[in-house]
């Protein structure tokens, strides 16, 4: 399966226009943002857990990164409420569940195989920017944009912009809650924030190595 698999091109997915796709686990559904592969895939998805749903125990050979958008995501390592940001590097394992239900943004099989850095942090509403993770390749932040703000970014290494809340417009296209935009390396992002402001999860720098 290949969804938005050409990383040299701009890609946008709007939450309200994208169907939920069942996963192998009962009660767990996904909206696929980008994907290369079948059930084991390099993938970026919004995943919804119905109350009481769970996955079987598994190892993340390629690593897992997620942001909890709604509810409480759980595993044997703890409870992760809305706003939690977690990086489970390659070789880590867990048994995901959500007793009361949850929605997460998750990225799979996108780690350097040698990466062993674990992150478990709570996010809030940053005054401007909260740095969640940074290494030699990528930077992950949570940003607060003010109403009407003009936002510009030189995406030399590419960028992913996910709307946690609020809205913005870019290239005449409006992005609202849980919409996702991927900008290719070498592009420029110019946006105008909506009247309610915006809370944005952003990852930059990580796509340059994928362009051959």
Q: Which CATH number covers residue 35?
A: 2.60.120.10
Specify whether 107 is located in the same domain as 148: no
Residue 46 has pLDDT above 90, yes or no: yes
Confidence band (pLDDT; 50, 70, 90) for 87?
Answer: very high
Specify whether 118 is located in the same domain as 25: yes
pLDDT in tens, 154-165: 999 999 999 999
Residue 12 lies in a domain: no
Among residues 88, 122, 156, which one ends one of the domains?
Answer: 122
Q: Which domain, by its residues, includes 85?
A: 18-122
Specify whether 117 is located in the same domain as 162: no
**Three-class HEC string of 21-88:** EECCCCCEEEEEEEEEECCCEEEEEEEEECCCEECCCEEECCCEEEEEEEEEEEECCEEEECCEEEEE
Tally of domains within the chain: 2
Specify whether 40 is located in the same domain as 57: yes
pLDDT in tens, 99-111: 999 999 999 999 8
Q: Tell me if 110 sits within 8 A of 63, measured CB to CB.
A: yes
Specify whether 142 is located in the same domain as 73: no
Specify whether 100 is located in the same domain as 158: no
Q: Which of the 8 DSSP states describes residue 17?
A: G
C-alpha span between 153 and 102 (Å, rounded):
32
**CB proximity list for 173: less than 8 A, separation 6 or greater:** 12
C-alpha span between 65 and 85 (Å, rounded):
8
C-alpha span between 169 and 4 (Å, rounded):
21
pLDDT for 211 equals 59
pLDDT for 128 equals 85
- The two tokens of residue 156 are 């030399």
């Amino acid at each position: 399966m290949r969804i938005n698999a050409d990383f040299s091109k701009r890609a946008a997915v709007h939450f309200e226009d994208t169907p939920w796709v069942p996963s192998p686990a009962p009660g767990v559904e996904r909206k696929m943002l980008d994907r290369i592969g079948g059930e084991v895939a390099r993938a970026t998805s919004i995943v919804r857990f119905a109350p009481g749903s769970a996955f079987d125990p598994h190892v993340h050979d390629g690593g897992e990164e997620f942001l909890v958008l709604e509810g409480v995501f759980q595993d044997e390592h703890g409870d992760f409420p809305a706003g939690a940001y977690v990086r489970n590097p390659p070789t880590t394992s867990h048994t995901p569940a959500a007793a009361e239900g949850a929605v997460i943004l998750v990225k799979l099989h996108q780690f350097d195989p040698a990466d062993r850095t674990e992150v478990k942090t709570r996010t809030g509403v940053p005054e401007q920017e909260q740095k969640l993770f940074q290494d030699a390749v990528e930077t992950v932040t949570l940003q607060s944009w003010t109403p009407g703000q003009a936002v510009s970014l030189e995406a030399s290494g590419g960028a992913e912009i996910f709307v946690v809340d609020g809205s913005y417009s870019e290239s005449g296209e409006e992005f609202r809650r849980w919409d996702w935009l991927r900008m290719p390396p070498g592009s420029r992002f110019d946006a105008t924030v909506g009247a309610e402001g915006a809370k944005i999860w952003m990852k930059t720098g990580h796509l340059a190595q994928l362009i051959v």
